[in-house]
Structure 1
Amino acid sequence: MTRVIKNWLTDMDGVLIHEENALPGAKEFLTTLQEKEIPFLVLTNNSIFTPRDLSARLETAGLNVPEENIWTSALATATFLAPQTESRRAYVVGEAGLTTAMYEEGFVMTNDRPEIVVLGETRTYSIDALTTAIRLIDNGARFIATNPDVTGPSAQGAIPATGAVAAMITAATGKEPYYVGKPNPVMLRMGLNKIDAHSEETALVGDRMDTDILAGMESGLQTHLVLSGSTKEKHIRKYPFRPDYIHNGIGNIAERLWLEQMGHKLDK
């Protein structure tokens, strides 16, 4: 049965941009979505930046994405946690993207009797802050992390990310965190709610089999893997699941989307 796709979710790094440069076809893809008024969200597991920061970053690369079309693991985490606590007291290790999202959901950020310890990504992890987090978790605070990525990209190469630091806290406390970001389908389902979309009418574009494609598959979305980022074709065989489509880059999807909008019927 052919699915009618009315909404799109797309990862950012490795799909739309690489470092600070737009990838081929990214502008055309976004332009088609906007001109045809197709609902979409740009997703990222990065919890450092606010949607406004990321919108500005994309604009620098020549891509127009309003901040309301950006959904981060920080926003998903804060939205998930809001109904999970009455006091809304949390100890937060992270940067502006996470602290702003928590603040906007009414949280008080404190090390005095917090219900929850929330770990996000930061470029300057403080041993004092991590020690406080460990002690609070030992004393009964719940342990939540924005995303499980163990490394992140930088111009100099891979750097430790949230998952790696969470592993250190787990080693010290014996407590595993609950990760809200991809591949947890919770993040995608919240994104679908944000744009009032149904999973059977939504496609997801990503460059990672272990986060993007897995989350999309478990959420019931049509999945498109692009080979312009972390996953190469030779890596796909390592996984027991497969994406619905494989493309060299977002440019292939942009062309396909444009043709479909012009009324052409395409084979898989």
Structure 2
Amino acid sequence: MPTVQEIRRASAGDEPLTMLTAYDAPTASIVDAAGIDVILVGDSVGNAMLGYDSTLPVTLEEIESHTGAVVRATEDALVVADMPFLSYGTTEGEGIENAGRLVKEAGANAVKLESGPHTVDLTERLVQLGIPVMAHLGLTPQRRNQMGYVRQGTTDAAAAEIRDLARRHEAAGAFSLVLEHVPADLAADVTADLDIPVIGIGAGPETDGQVLVVTDVIGLSDSSPPFAEQFGDVRGEMEAAVDAFREAVEDGDFP
């Protein structure tokens, strides 16, 4: 298993980091066996698996349950649990307690925070307590009601804010940064600014690694964001198998 410190030391020029989401034991086992460096138990479970229309309804209990399933099926990858909407940012104590549950009870190796000015101090405090933090800037879906689901950092002021927040979270002790749906030149600048690795999603090729939602990668999603890529057709295979089962039963060929 790569340690947090080994991930922290990864940088451009080395072999790029790979990260995928997983939400259940069978998927985590496959992702882990493929040699993926980091498994993210993302709050994208809301859209991908739970039938929600956004990540906002996802609860801490749901993330904790899915994280436990992933941890039990994972031997080598670093497992990072997403902190869901309003599980942090209200009071520091509540954020610490909830992050602690994901590490102490669910078995995550680290937590991820959708970051902003309000998470700098929390990041520092969590790290002081021994809870590694992955920061997340750019498009942060938990703020979709405020910012929409559009590319971020497209103005000089917005780009400067992202670069500043990235530096501040690194200084606070974050061991890596997810940078989502920003211009490639901004992602390249942030990657050059930081000593910790930047893992991009819709952020161009010049980051230290890439992350995608696993249901997009395997072709299971109904729809995918424009920056995702489908590497398989699991949905088509499942539809064919289910149709074949129905036909076999109806025709008397099974059992």
**TM-score band, normalised by the shorter chain?**
0.3 to 0.5
1 or 2 for the larger relative contact order (CA 8 Å, sep ≥6)?
A: 1
